[in-house]
Amino acid sequence: MTKFEEELKKLPIKIIEHSVGYTKYYNAANVKSLIAKADTEIEYLKSKLEPQALPVVPGYVAEWYEANKATLEYSIYSIHVDMSDLEDTELTDVQIWFDNRNNKSLETIFKMKDGYIIEKPKLFRLKLRNTADRNHYLWLNRATNRIFIDKKFLYWTNHGNVKNSFTEQEISEILDGAFVNNEAFELVPVEDGE
C-alpha cells in the first residue's frame, strides 16, 4: 500500500443511504488537501534528483533521429533488420554507430527525446614538415578536388570551396587516403575558436 493510500484510509468516510443501497464517499476538501500534500512531496523529491546529462551524438545520428522520431521503434527495428542482411563494408554511418556497443545506442536514442547535444567533430590541419618556413599547410579546393600548399592564415580560410581543416574521415578521403600517415605532413589539432 502506498503512502497516499494509507493517508486516504485515515480520512473520514461519509455514507449516503438510498433506495438501492448506500454509497461511501470522502469529503472533497479532505481529498484535495491530501492531493496537494502529495504534489508538494513529489516536487520536493523531484528537486532532489540529479539532472541527467544530455546524450552527445554525432551529427548524422541527430539527423537520423529527427527524421525518424515519429516512428522510432519501427525505425530502430528496421536498422537492425537491414544490418543483418548487409556486409560490414555496406553499412551506413548510422548502422555502424548502432552496431558499436560502446555507444549504448538504444539507451542513447531513447534519452534523446529529452534533448541531445551534437558532437563537435575533432578537426586537424596537415602541416608540411621539414621546410624553412614551418607555416605551410595543405589546402583543398573542394569544387575541383585539387590540393595545394600555402600559408595557414589566408583571408578565405575555410570558407566556400577552399579549406585547410579536416576531420580524420575527410583526411582519409583526400586523394584516396594519400595523406593518412604521410611522413611529409604533421597532423595538427585545430584549437576551439581557431
How far is Cα 182 from Cα 71, in angstroms, rounded to an integer?
45
Q: Closest by alpha carbon to 31, among 64, 4, 49?
A: 4
Q: Closest by alpha carbon to 122, among 182, 180, 62, 169?
A: 169
How far is Cα 23 from Cα 16, in angstroms, rounded to an integer?
5
| 124: enclosing H helix or E strand | strand 124-128
Assess contact for 91 and 58: CB atoms under 8 A. Answer: no
First to last CA, the chain: 61
How far is Cα 147 from Cα 4, in angstroms, rounded to an integer?
71
How far is Cα 31 from Cα 9, in angstroms, rounded to an integer?
11
Cell numbers that stand for 53 in this block = 546529462
For residue range 99-133, what is the model confidence (pLDDT) as tens digits? 888 878 888 888 888 899 998 888 888 888 876 66
pLDDT at 11 over 80: no
Q: Is the pTM of this model over 0.95?
A: no
CA torsion angle for 159, 165, 169, 173 (degrees, to 10)?
Answer: 70
Q: What is the pLDDT, as a whole number, of residue 8?
A: 66
Residues shown for the chain:
194
What mean pLDDT value characterizes the chain? 79
- The SS3 of residue 186 is strand
Written as one letter, the residue type at 57 is V
How far is Cα 173 from Cα 120, in angstroms, rounded to an integer?
19
How far is Cα 138 from Cα 166, in angstroms, rounded to an integer?
10
Residue percentage of the chain with pLDDT more than 90: 5
Please give the average per-residue pLDDT across 137-149, as a whole number.
81
Could you give the count of Cα atoms lying within 13 Å of 45 in the half-sphere of its Cβ?
A: 6
For residue range 43-98, what is the model confidence (pLDDT) as tens digits? 888 777 777 788 999 888 999 899 998 888 888 888 877 777 777 667 788 888 88
Where do the structural domains in the chain lie, given as residue ranges? 3-48, 56-118, 124-189
